[in-house]
Amino acid sequence: MTSKRFWDWFIFPGGVWIALLFAVPLFLVLALSFGHVDDFGRGVYGFSLDNYKDVFDATYVPVLLRSVGYALATVILCLLIGYPVAYFIARYGGRYRYALLAALVIPFFVNYLVRTYAWVALLADQGLVNNLLVDWGLAESPIQMINTPYAVIGGLVYGYIIFMILPLYGSIERMDPSVIEAGKDLYGSPFQTFLHVTLPATQAGILAGCVLVFLPAVGDFVSAQLLGGPDTYMVGNLIQDQFFAASNWPFGSALTVVMMLFLAVWMVFYLRRASKGEAEVL
């Protein structure tokens, strides 16, 4: 009993940290979302629902849908690319396993904004990729790659794929390889074995990866801003514009709150599934 009390105290440093630097600012965002803008363009706290009425204005619906659509496409692509990578490293990486993982993680030490700019340079009309295509005769003239929805989704996939690979790696690595052998012993083809044995056994990692990619991808604004075209405006861009161009912090806060609630639904769904399946959570 005494020792349990002693250990309980350890929650304090982290708890105070979370309270001051996370809960309080979050509360201020929530409070400001009911506020309005004064004549100087400053946000003033208040008790009005006007901002929330505006959030559900028909204008913003396509922006929200587009953001969710891009994020879903990102999740699917990350899963299709990430699963074989994680599978290979976990099962056949051998002694290079950690070196391979490090090679995947190291690029993510570089700031996301800088990495996205690199894609602009690579994919530009006069960029490296287009120059090679034209030089090798694969294209007659430069292909427009940036300023398209594909480029935005590509940027998101590149930006967040590590959040898919790491949990997948974790669950594939922890999977008992003998279950695959058992599947084959039961005359399962490689594909059937994968579908009925490997996939269910690594379900927790898939779920974790999908949620971890989806959440930041919905709210992203960098990819659309740097790689996007005239029709790639995302909710992250909308929120950023409220703070920095429109000087309308209260409306920006309301958008943020609504988006957080929307994402929280997914988070709760994930946590429930994860705890139900008594599987490992990253």
Partner 1 sequence: MSETDLSRRQLFVAGAGLVAAAYGLAGCTVERPLDRSAAGNLVEPKIDGDLLIFNWAQYMDPQIKKSFAEKYGVEVKEVNFDNLEAMVTKLRAGGSYDLIFPSTEYVLRLRNEQLIRPFDRSKLKNADSLTPFYDSPWYDPNSEFSVPYAYYTTGIAWNTNEVKEMTESWNDMSNPEALGRIFMLDDFQEGIGQANLLNGFYLNTEKSDQLEVSKQTLLDQKEGLRGFSTNSVQNLVSGAAALTQAWNGDVVNARNQVDDPSIFKYETCKEGVPVGSDLMCIPVTSQSPGTAMLFMDWVLRPDNAYRNVMWNGYPMPVAGGREAFAELVKDDPSIDVDLSQLADSAMEFRLDSPEARQEWTRIWTEVKA
Where along the sequence are the contacts to partner 1 (CB under 8 A)? 27-28, 30-32, 34, 37-47, 59-60, 62-63, 120, 124-127, 142, 144, 146-147, 228-230, 233, 237-238, 241-249, 251
| Minimum CB distance to partner 1, residue 128 (Å) | 11
CA pair distance 263, 260, nearest whole angstrom: 5
Shortest CA distance to 247 belongs to which of 26, 46, 38, 31? 38
| Minimum CB distance to partner 1, residue 157 (Å) | 20
Q: Is 234 helix (H, G, I), strand (E, B) or coil?
A: coil
| Minimum CB distance to partner 1, residue 161 (Å) | 25
Nearest CB to partner 1, comparing residues 243 and 266: 243
Shortest CA distance to 33 belongs to which of 22, 44, 41, 20? 44
| Minimum CB distance to partner 1, residue 73 (Å) | 19
| Minimum CB distance to partner 1, residue 78 (Å) | 25
| Minimum CB distance to partner 1, residue 268 (Å) | 14
Nearest CB to partner 1, comparing residues 96 and 244: 244
| Minimum CB distance to partner 1, residue 146 (Å) | 7
Nearest CB to partner 1, comparing residues 223 and 237: 237
In the block, tokens 């599947």 appear at 183
- Amino acid sitting at position 241: D
CA pair distance 256, 74, nearest whole angstrom: 21
| Minimum CB distance to partner 1, residue 228 (Å) | 7
Nearest CB to partner 1, comparing residues 202 and 248: 248
Nearest CB to partner 1, comparing residues 120 and 263: 120
- Please provide the DSSP assignment of 144-211 as one string: --SSSHHHHHHHHHHHHTHHHHHHHHHHHHHS-THHHHHHHHTT--HHHHIIIIIHHHTHHHHHHHHH
Nearest CB to partner 1, comparing residues 46 and 188: 46
Nearest CB to partner 1, comparing residues 171 and 242: 242
What are the distances in angstroms from CA 254 to CA 45, 52, 85, 267, 278? 12, 6, 39, 20, 36
Shortest CA distance to 113 belongs to which of 35, 36, 224? 224
Nearest CB to partner 1, comparing residues 106 and 261: 261
Contact between 88 and 104 under an 8 Å Cβ cutoff? The reply is no
Alpha helices in the chain (DSSP H): 2-8, 11-18, 24-32, 50-55, 61-92, 97-105, 112-123, 128-135, 149-160, 162-174, 178-185, 190-193, 199-201, 203-219, 222-227, 235-244, 249-276
